[in-house]
Amino acid sequence: MKAEIIAIGTELITGQALDTNSAWLSQRLGEIGIPVGWHTTVADDLHDNIAAFRVAAERAAVVLATGGLGPTQDDLTREALARLAGVELVLHAESLAHIQEMFAQRNRPMPERNRVQALFPAGAEPIPNRCGTAPGIWLRVGSCHIAALPGVPSEMMVMFDEQIKPRLLQLGLAGGVRLQRKLNCFGSGESHIEEKLLDLTRRGHVPEVGITVSDATISLRIIAQAPSRAEALAQIEPVERTIRDRLGDLVFGVEDEDLHDVVVRLLREQGKTLATAESVTTGQVAERIGRVPGASECFLGGIVAYSNAAKQALLGVPAELLAAHGAVSGPVAEAMAVGCRARFGSDLAVSTTGIAGPGGATPTKPVGLVWVGLAWEGGVSSQSFSWTGTRGEIQNRTAKLALNRVRLHLLRPPGAAHAT
Amino acid sequence: MKAEIIAIGTELITGQALDTNSAWLSQRLGEIGIPVGWHTTVADDLHDNIAAFRVAAERAAVVLATGGLGPTQDDLTREALARLAGVELVLHAESLAHIQEMFAQRNRPMPERNRVQALFPAGAEPIPNRCGTAPGIWLRVGSCHIAALPGVPSEMMVMFDEQIKPRLLQLGLAGGVRLQRKLNCFGSGESHIEEKLLDLTRRGHVPEVGITVSDATISLRIIAQAPSRAEALAQIEPVERTIRDRLGDLVFGVEDEDLHDVVVRLLREQGKTLATAESVTTGQVAERIGRVPGASECFLGGIVAYSNAAKQALLGVPAELLAAHGAVSGPVAEAMAVGCRARFGSDLAVSTTGIAGPGGATPTKPVGLVWVGLAWEGGVSSQSFSWTGTRGEIQNRTAKLALNRVRLHLLRPPGAAHAT
């Protein structure tokens, strides 16, 4: 028993607008235990609309469509559904009165074209729209329940929550609860992480465990489908514990929590302050920290030392060190961190230096080579990494590498743990 | 003759992630005159994948699929295409060597699981991926041409432009031309801009002119459909001239050009250098500039002075000025810019200070109030703005405001133009 979501609109199929309705509806259906099997997008084209509804009505138990209910000539959902069901369009007096009233409230005459919005396939049930002029349509074709809603997200959302969801629950189509737990990891590759979890990520495992990667952040999704919330949680919790046991510190957060959120949380919990000294990331480490509300309590600021002159003048990196090792080196990363910590008087300072490309590579230092330094009271360390990818990817991933270095330091204070 | 785009991924069908690939591919296909008829999204499910490919191969002349080419067990596109074509998966030695080399470059052993990325349906053509480990697949099933590309947007985009587009052009599938010109504007609201263009943005105007807004950047899209590129350009060019005449300096760039791109271009053209002094934007102005290849030629660096102590110690803002006006004020924004310019020895320095929220507001200084300062040889100025929006929106928009201030200064050198 799966649902299908159909998005109708030439602006969507040509790529001029992004369909956000289908993802939203999928989430809402998932929450009431109705899995979605297909998203389909078609243009404002009568033939394509009818064909899409026909395919959907055959394979899905529920079809939710958005778009094509406006008053203009390219709004064809009403007609497509009438043709699909093999019935005429008939006028619904109550809907017409509602539309006329919406115009009256704005002191405008109702354009004649809006009259079509009160037409419905014979036998269909009008779905009131209290936020706009386009009523929705609820009808059954064969064994499939079809709901057509406006494409305007704010109208569609209210109508789904108030009108469609109760109907789906009443039909008994909602089968239990679908819950998801997302664990975010950093510090290892996708394949290496999956190698530790092969028994969990295999097809057919209950609950399902999926892996996605975005700019070196690996996310694990544990998805449980069960008759009740308690039973879904009972599926998820032991699997989450197993994953955390196996991955340890690689797991840095849950759901939408990002590395900078964790760093700010740990700093605040421990009453510590941080400053940043950035070259290759040109301010991104600071910018990410600054996204977190309350960052001002623990983040003192940073220096973007892009030129060697700035590294010397503002961070006190010795000219000899730059000459001997080059700006992209462990000693310079460490000197940047130490100099930054002294200037800001912070507990910790983290630094980045590297080659983001496309230019700047040397025979011994390829594009993608980066160093991250960390200075704390009584110590300093550095580590290097070689990324592949675009300039932007190298910068994003290095900013995360630096934040992760701070996170690991805060989790395992030096002395208590191994280096790097 | 239409194309179909299939997006594969459980994270998409459950609504946890938004599919942006399909819209991007639709635009690119439209540009070479291949209309898209269907977007289909399915989960990482072998049966659903095969069924989706089967339906698509019957109704479309070209099918582009994204996702499901990774090394993990839920990556099933290879297998689905082999089943669809009724052939075995065979190892492609060259692709395997490329994947092994990608790992070698990072000094890491290739996990055994990545070997599957070198498997292809017998008879299919591997599409090289120079940005990642997942090669694409090009094969013909019946009369339909199918291309499978990775789901990672940056890899997918390069592979489409370099590998798939030339193949489609060679097949003679491209018919007619759909051209788009995008003009990016900053410095005025969407309604104010549209008021100046009402005759162009009305429905049915040829060429079509659309307006979209994203974080205070207003984009105007001029879209022409014509038998040839020359005829499409002939539609676009006079409309572009009209828009530029009416909007003047509000238009800062075309296509994907962002404010930081323009700032770096103008600085390099004029042989000038820039440094940044940021509070409310916590490094974002520097980070945006650093995204541009070659920024190191004109960008010396920056100081993120989040705390008042850092504003004094690192930028030389007098304590009395902070006490008299508060950190969020014109005088402090100007002192930050002047101090920054002196420390970096740059031609220009731009500063930001403000209240991003959610905390930090006072009775006279609400969340969203920001000041931007600019210092140049012989002068300094500041301007304020009041944004509504989230913390992130206020920070993004203020970073753009600062960049726009630098842009306008470079376009109209002081003395030659009016102030702010």
A64-103, pLDDT tens digit by residue?
Answer: 999 999 887 778 999 999 999 999 999 999 999 999 988 8
Using CB atoms, pick whichever of A42, A190, A392 lies closest to residue B71: A190
Beta strand segments in B101-235, E: 119-121, 125-127, 136-141, 144-149, 177-186, 208-214, 217-226
Distance, in Å, from the CA atom of A371 to the CA atom of A383, rounded to the nearest integer, reads 6
Q: Which of A170, A186, A211 is the last residue of a domain?
A: A170
Which B residues, 262 through 321, put their C-beta within 8 Å of a C-beta on chain A? Answer: 276, 278, 281-287, 289-291, 293-296, 299-307, 309-310, 313-314
Q: List the beta bridge partners of residue B251.
A: B185
B232 in the same domain as B268: no
Nearest in space to A134 (alpha carbons), one of A59, A210, A77 = A77
Residue B165 and residue B42 in one domain = yes
Tens digits of per-residue pLDDT, B18-32? 999 999 999 999 888
DSSP state of A418: -
A386 CB neighbours in chain B (<8 A) are 105-107
Specify whether B30 is located in the same domain as B108: yes
Task: Report yes or no: A202 at the B interface, CB cutoff 8 Å.
Answer: yes
Question: Looking at chain A from residue 2 to 41, which residues have their Cβ under 8 Å from any Cβ of chain B?
Answer: 7, 12-20, 22-28, 30, 35-41
Asked if residue A229 and residue A143 are part of one domain, the reply reads no
Q: Examine residue B116 and state whether it is found in any structural domain, yes or no.
A: yes
Q: Based on the fold, state whether residues B266 and B398 are members of the same structural domain.
A: yes
Provide the pLDDT for residue B420.
43
pLDDT tens for each residue of B370-379: 999 999 998 9
pLDDT at residue B97, as a whole number: 93
How close B259 gets to chain A, by Cα (Å)? 16
Find the CB nearest B310 among A17, A301, A310. A301
Residues A213 and A104 in one domain: no
The H or E element that residue A210 is part of is strand A208-214
Residues B278 and B355 in one domain: yes
Decide if B416 is inside a domain.
Answer: no
Contact status of A48 with chain B (Cβ, < 8 Å): yes
Touching check for A364 and chain B: CB below 8 Å? no
- Boundary (domain end) residue, out of A115, A142, A170: A170
Low-confidence ranges of chain A (pLDDT < 50): 417-420
Cβ–Cβ contact A195 with B under 8 A: yes
- Judging contacts by C-beta atoms under 8 Å, the chain B residues touching residue A304 are 276, 283, 286, 290, 301-304
State how far the Cα of A404 lies from the Cα of A43, in Å rounded to an integer: 45
Is position A391 within any domain? yes
List alpha helices for B131-254, DSSP H.
153-159, 165-170, 190-195, 198-201, 229-247
Residue among A20, A287, A306 whose CB faces B18 most closely: A20
pLDDT band for B176, please (50, 70, 90 cuts).
Answer: confident
Tell whether B223 and B276 lie within a shared domain. no
CA distance B37 to chain A (A): 6
Average pLDDT score, chain B: 92
Mutation target among A66, A282, A397, A403 for the B interface, most CBs of B within 10 A: A282
Asked if residue A34 belongs to a domain, the reply is yes
In a domain, A419, yes or no: no
Chosen for mutation from B31, B39, B340 (greatest number of chain A CBs closer than 10 Å) is B39
Q: pLDDT digit string (tens) for B256-278?
A: 899 999 999 999 999 999 999 99
Residue A389 located in a structural domain: yes
pLDDT above 70: residue B417: no
Residue A420, pLDDT score: 43
One domain for residues A163 and A203: no
CB B66 within 8 Å of CB B33: no
Asked whether the beta carbons of residue B39 and residue A41 sit closer than 8 angstroms, the reply is yes
DSSP letter string, B58-102: HH-SEEEEES--SSSTT--HHHHHHHHHT--EEE-HHHHHHHHHH
Query: Based on the domain organization, do B243 and B288 belong to the same domain?
Result: no
Q: Do B310 and A344 touch (CB under 8 A)?
A: yes
pLDDT of residue B181 exceeding 50:
yes
Q: In the prediction, which pLDDT does B194 show? A: 82
* Number of domains forming the structure of chain B: 3
Using an 8 Å Cβ cutoff, are B240 and B220 in contact?
Answer: no
CB-CB under 8 Å, A295 with B283? no
CATH of the domain at B17: 3.40.980.10
Same domain, A84 and A158: yes
Residue A395 belongs to domain with CATH number: 3.90.950.20
- Measured at the CA of B217, the angle between CA B32 and CA B23, to 5 degrees, comes to 30
In whole angstroms, give the CA distance from residue A120 to residue A127.
Answer: 10
Helices A391-411 and A259-270, interaxial angle, to 10°? 30
Instruction: Report the DSSP pairing between strands A299-305 and B299-305.
Output: antiparallel
Tell me the three state secondary structure of residue A233: helix
The domain of B40 spans 3-170
Contacts of B357 in chain A (CB under 8 A): 293
pLDDT of residue B416: 56
- Residue A418: predicted pLDDT: 46
* Residue B74 domain-assigned (yes or no): yes
Assign residue B249 the CATH number of its domain: 3.30.70.2860
Between A363-367, B121-125, B244-248, the lowest mean confidence (pLDDT) is in A363-367
The residue among A170, A189, A220 that closes a domain is A170
Most confident option among A98-107, A226-235, B126-135, B338-347: B338-347
Distance from CA of A14 to the nearest CA of B (A): 5
Q: What is the pTM of this model?
A: 0.77
At which residue do the structure tokens 């635009």 appear? Answer: B27
Domain presence at residue B418? no
Same domain, A345 and A365: yes
